[in-house]
Each structure stands twice: as C-alpha cells, then as structure tokens.
Amino acid sequence: PSLSVLSQLPGVDLQEVDSGCCGMAGSFGYEKEHYQISKAMAYRKLIPAAESTHRRGGRVIAAGVSCRQQIRAFTNRVALHPAEILAAHLKT
C-alpha cells in the first residue's frame, strides 16, 4: 500500500527493489549469538541495495523499523519511513 500511495505524489520517482530480508527479526539480530547471522542476511541484498541507491543520489524508504535499523547500522545512512515522505509532501 505504501508504494501505491507514494507513487501518486508529484515529483516522486519510486523504484522498488528486491531487498530480501534485513536479518533483524525483532530482537534476533541484537542477540550476541545471532549477530553474525543477522549481518550476513542483511548483506545478501538489503545493504547492497541501500548502498547502490545512496550512490545514485536516491533515498531509501523502508516501512519496517528493523530494516531501517539495519540500514543505519551497516551504511551509516538513514532510511526513511513512508509516512515521512508523505508528511514532507503534505507540508509543501
């Protein structure tokens, strides 16, 4: 639903990417014994997709809090929630 709503906004060019699983799964990725598994899962697709988007000058949008946390932890960049994009357009 987020993609269909955001695609209606003027000036917004969205590209959905296959980002796979972020590997966090709630608290799973925070647990010491699961950290490496969580990190490996994030680096399979999500982190390369986020890095590629940032290199092209795009912004990453992710609805899941775990996904946004993984992106921030491993790329040192912020992924926005769809509501943040919508709110920014409503203010203009």
The reported pTM is: 0.86
**How large a percentage of the chain has pLDDT more than 90?**
67
Tens-place pLDDT, residues 37-78: 999 999 999 999 999 999 999 999 999 999 999 999 999 999
List C-alpha distances in Å: 48 to 41, 45, 79: 11, 6, 13
Length of the chain measured in residues: 92
In this prediction, residue 71 carries a pLDDT of 96
Q: What's the pLDDT tens digit per position in 7-42?
A: 989 888 888 888 889 999 888 999 999 999 999 999
Locate 18 and state its tokens: 């296959």
Q: Using CA atoms, how far apart are residues 36 and 87, in angstroms rounded to an integer? A: 36
Residue closest to 30 by CA, chosen among 18, 19, 42, 20: 42
